[in-house]
Amino acid sequence: MARTQPTPSLRPTIRDVAAQAGVSVSSVSRVLNREPHTSPELHARIMRVVDRLGFEPHSAAQALRSRASNTIGCMVSDISNPLYSEMVNAAEEELQRAGYVLMLGATRHAEERETAFISAVRRRRMDGLLLFAGDNTHKDFTSALATLDLPCVGIDREVPGAPSVRADHRGGGFEVTRYLIGLGHRRIALLTGPAAVLPSTERVAGYRQAHIESGLDVDLDLVRPQVHGSGIAFSDVCQLLHGPAPPTAVITLGTHMLASVMDAFASNGIRYPSDISLVCIGDTDLARHATPAISTLTWDLSEIGRIAAKTLLERVRDGDQAQDTRPIYLPTRFILRHSCAEPRAK
């Protein structure tokens, strides 16, 4: 019996795949939807025909039938941040190996962008959601997220009822601050991200703990959360340097903020480490290739992305059976370079 050939001018259909593979349409559907109880031989035969014909299932129709779109949403505040992009790349590779497509939304910390992305996740019937560090005081976003019946995993973020994968920012903030105190510094400035973002609150907690354990008071004027970007970092550092008791050390984020801090030093004739000590959070190209190279607090960014993706895939597959929502912590690592010294005697 002659097999039906697909019409060349038309897009191949699932019936064309079934005819060419010599199987039923339901068998093709089971293979494409990754349903169990399909033999490896049958799976291989059908997928060979799928590849040969260039067949692509209609994603919307497939999602309506199987309630799965094989799509994962990923919400990040700033994709230009190299620390975020490394984690996103690692997560995307893990998801792609499992047959999922990552759809990225960059929100720039704007609540309207966050809620719009949640609406897009719902409309497109995505299978899961990765949420990077963000402001959990955004009430409209939090309300929209609460109504999203979807597996979620937070990355450096608390998500109610969902697991999260985090670096030990509190431990890292403590280690760096304690090191500088050990060198003799008593005026240590901390420039970090927005105050309502989890990594920032954890770093400040570690900074405070190091001061308390050393019997030192915490001067809150030295703690400068950065809300509007790197330009504020420049003005904050200049203001501190011209104050009555300027800092002898600065801890700053290692991305755009580090460049602004270094510009502020240069504009005020300050050199590190002879005039001031400098540590950055996040090992970036600027930190590694600056002269002298800058001591850095870092962590395995790719591993966080991979673990977050694997955790989300488990929840997508297991549904309500995946009940463990305890945070997964990865350690930080302090890399000493040549940007720190004992404070210069007055």
**Residue 155 near residue 130, CB atoms below 8 Å:** yes
Helix, strand or coil for residue 210?
A: helix
Q: Please check whether residue 53 is in contact with residue 16, taking contact to mean a CB–CB distance below 8 angstroms.
A: yes
State how far the Cα of 223 lies from the Cα of 278, in Å rounded to an integer: 15
Q: Is the pLDDT of residue 115 over 70?
A: yes
> Which residues touch 287 (CB under 8 Å, ≥6 apart)?
254, 258, 280, 293, 294, 296, 337
| Type of residue numbered 51 | D
- What pLDDT score does 237 carry? 96
Neighbour order of strands in the sheet with 295-298: 223-225, 188-192, 249-253, 277-281, 295-298, 333-335
Mean pLDDT for the chain overall: 89
DSSP 8-state assignment for residue 222: G
Which amino acid, one-letter code, is at 80? S
Q: Is 219 exposed, middle or buried (0-12, 13-18, 19+ CB in 10 A)?
A: middle
Give the position of tokens 């039923």. Answer: 24
Strands 328-330 and 295-298, by their bridges, are: unpaired
d(CA 173, CA 334): 10
pLDDT at 88: 96
Identify the three-state secondary structure at position 227. Answer: coil
Distance CA 238, CA 265 (A): 8
pLDDT of residue 108: 86
pLDDT above 70 (res 275):
yes
pLDDT of 229 higher than 60: no
Determine which of 2-6, 95-99, 141-145, 313-317 has the lowest per-residue pLDDT on average: 2-6
- Identify each DSSP E strand in the chain by its residue range: 71-76, 101-106, 128-132, 152-155, 164-167, 188-192, 223-225, 249-253, 277-281, 295-298, 328-330, 333-335
Sheet holding 164-167, edge to edge: 101-106, 71-76, 128-132, 152-155, 164-167, 328-330
Higher-confidence residue: 311 or 38? 311
Selected residue with higher pLDDT from 200 and 228: 200
| Residue that wins the pLDDT comparison between 142 and 204 | 204
pLDDT tens digit sequence for 140-171: 898 888 888 889 999 999 998 899 999 999 99
Whether the CB-CB separation of 280 and 296 falls below 8 Å is answered with: yes
Contact 316, 153 (CB under 8 A): no
**Closest listed residue to residue 290, CA positions, set 314, 267, 261:** 261
The pLDDT > 70 percentage for the chain reads: 89
pLDDT of residue 346: 64
pLDDT reported for residue 265? 98
CA 126, 36, 66, 18 torsion-angle sign: positive
Map residue 200 onto helix, strand or coil.
helix
pLDDT class for 226, splitting at 50, 70, 90? confident
CA dist., res. 264 & res. 273, Å (int): 14
Q: Can you list the domains of the chain with their CATH numbers?
A: 69-167+301-330 (3.40.50.2300), 169-300 (3.40.50.2300)
User: What pLDDT does residue 321 have?
Assistant: 57
Rounded Cα–Cα distance for residues 193 and 243 (Å): 22
